[in-house]
Structures are given as C-alpha cells and as structure tokens.
Amino acid sequence: MNFELSKEQQMIKHMVHEFAEEVIRPRAIDIDRLAKFPDDIFKQMGELGLLGIPFPEEYGGSGGDTLSYAIAVEEIGRVCGSTGLSYAAAVSLGASPIHYFGTEDQKKQFLKPLAEGASLGSFGLTESNAGSDAGGTVTTAVLQDDFYVINGEKCFITNASYAETLIITAVTVKNENGKNTISAFIVPANTEGVKITSNYNKMGMRGSDTAEIVLNNVSVPKENLLGEKDKGFKQFLYTLDGGRISIGALGVGIAQAALEKSLQYAKGRKQFGKSISSFQAVQFKLADMAMEVELARNMVHKAAWLKDQGKPFSKEAAFAKLFATETAFRSANQAVQIHGGYGYMREYEVERYLRDAKLLEIGEGTSEIQRLVIARELGC
C-alpha cells in the first residue's frame, strides 16, 4: 500500500481543512452548548460536494474513493465531533447502503439527492433490545399486495430528525431455525405513520441529531425493498464495516485535535519558571499521544485502501475503529490532564473532546464487539 496521498486526495484534504477552520470551528462551542444540529453547515457541505465524495458522478457524487472520504471525516471531526459524526452517518449509513445494494431506479431516485447534498439520509437499525444483538430486531415488515407494512420502533438514530430518506431494517420472516430473517427498506421520512422525535439529552456529540423513530402501519411500495429480500442482516454487516472506517477517521480527528491543543497549551503554560512542555512527565504524554494518533491514522487509511481495492477489509475496519476510538478517548483524557484545572472548563474545549470521544467507543459496534469481530476473523 502507498501511504502517499494522491494529488486529488491532497486537494480534498486542503479544501475540507479550510472549510472546517473557517466555517465550522467558530461555531463548534455553540453547536455543543446549544445542542443544535447545524443544518446550514450541512447545506454548505452539500454545495461543496462533501456528501457525495465516495459516490459515482452519475448518481450525483464526486467520484472519489473511501480514503478521500475518510480524510474529510478526520478534518471535520478535528474541529467538531458533532458535525463529524453527523457527516459520517449521512454518508456511511444514510447513503452508502443504497449505493451498495440499490437498484438503478433506487439510486437515481434516492441516492442522487443524498450524494448531491440536497437532502440527508438516516439508517434505522438499533432498537431498545437490539443494539449489539441486531439479530434481536422486532420491527416487522409484512407484504400486503404490492406494499410492505412496517411496524416497530428504532432508537438512537443519527440525523433522523433532518432526514428525508430513512433506511429501516425489519423482520420479514423467520427461517427454519426460528431465527429472524431481516430485510431493509427505503422509507421516505414523510410517509404516513412515521413519527420522529428527538428528546435525548446527551453527554457528548450534542450537536449531532439523535432521534427515535416510531413506525405505525407504515406502507411502502414493494419496490422500496433494498437489496435482496431477507439479506438485510448481511447487508447491514457490510454497511457497518464501511461505517467503522469513518468512525475510526472521526476518532483520529478528535485525537489529533487533543494533541494539537495540548501541545499549544504545554508550550505556553509556565510553571516553576519554565514551560511545562520541558517537563518529562508532560513530554511523555505528548509523545504517546502523537504516536497513537499516527498509528490510528495509518490503520484507518489501510482499511480504506483495502476497501477501495475491493479486498476483504472487515478485520482491518475493526482494527481501525477499535484502536482509533480508544486513542481518541485516551488522547482527550490526557489533554484534560495536561491542561489541569483549565482542561475542566468548557472554553478550553478539551473536555468536549473527552465527552465526544466516549460515544465513539459505543456506536457502530462497541469496543467489545470490535474485539469479537477481530477474534472471529482470526478463526477463534
């Protein structure tokens, strides 16, 4: 694998970096404080083509690759975890399943506006009793004439309140062993019977919309079945593998931000007559942070590269997601420590990094699930 970015990837990195610094950073503290989704920023991101980076031009995308997209997630996450999370969810979960499994008509009707940034998508998988055990899904979809009628509830769904297109997983039948067989459906958010509420008061990622979806006799045409019938479980496993790359990239962004803030503060903070960056105890913290950020970035880039090459990447995606998100939490925690009492204050931002990073160890498969995935890939 070539670790040198192409000219196109370098251009994307530069463009997103400038946008993040000029547009997102000045509002990052308020996005967290007010817990308000920055829909105007997402409109600008759509105009820049960021929401369509990994999708073909014929479907409204930019024709980029997974690595370019991961670079963009990192740059956005470096200045605002909330915006980075909603961006990653919009692309990896809201739009990518249609790109992976959709028919030509579905791609033209549903993927194109998502890739063009004209609207957002959301992925409804998690339920109150079906988180890590997604096979425990109880939402049902019953075929009646030419329509599927869907009933159930989804929780902790990112971007749902602002989405026009929902992808919903539901049980369509039980197999011969009595286990749920799951399919996926494209559900326009304005369909009768869809109710979306966002009443969560979250610890971190406060500016990223998190909602509950209630589906009460929601009727969609049978043509809205996404992919093969009863293949939804395998489909969302593949979707989550790709999503883990983006969450890993988001972890790298937060970890990088924690390192930059800590280094800047340590050089300027004087104690005992000299900068605290000259103290070995602080130097070792900074050295460990820098090393882990670089390792995490390389893991994310390798997983993205493997996906772009059409090679197996499940294990590497789990490596990247696990290590990068735990690196984000460790780095943010050390950043608070280096800042001392100031690190506990909101205006210094590092406490936000710590709160935001914690979710990354939970969403898109917990750290424990990543270790199970890796063990399974090892043949255990």
2 part of a folded domain: no
Do 247 and 220 lie in a common domain?
no
What does each C-alpha distance from 336 to 165, 306, 331, 348 come to in angstroms? 39, 35, 9, 9
> Percent helix, strand, coil in the chain (nearest 5)?
60, 15, 25
* CATH number, position 60: 1.10.540.10
Do 188 and 216 lie in a common domain?
yes
DSSP-assigned letters across all residues of 63-113: ---HHHHHHHHHHHHHH-HHHHHHHHIIIIIIIHHHHHH--HHHIIIIIHH
1 part of a folded domain: no
The predicted-structure confidence for 31-41, as pLDDT tens digits, reads as follows 999 999 999 99
For residue 236, what pLDDT is reported? 86
From the list 164, 364, 368, 377, the catalytic residue is 364
CB-based burial label for 146 (10 Å; 0-12, 13-18, 19+): exposed
The strand pair at 147-158 and 121-124 is best described as unpaired
* CATH number, position 342: 1.20.140.10
CB of 161 closer than 8 Å to CB of 209: yes
Do 217 and 278 lie in a common domain?
no
Do 113 and 160 lie in a common domain?
no
Do 64 and 128 lie in a common domain?
no
Domain range for 216 is 121-229
Do 144 and 239 lie in a common domain?
no
* Tally of structural domains, the chain: 3
For residue 178, what pLDDT is reported? 65
For residue 144, what pLDDT is reported? 93
For residue 133, what pLDDT is reported? 82
Extract the residue ranges of the chain whose pLDDT is less than 50: none
Q: How many CB atoms lie within 10 A of CB 231?
A: 16
For residue 181, what pLDDT is reported? 86
Mark which of 229, 249, 273 sits at the end of a domain.
229
For residue 184, what pLDDT is reported? 94
Q: How many CB atoms lie within 10 A of CB 155?
A: 18
364 is catalytic: yes
CB of 184 closer than 8 Å to CB of 236: yes
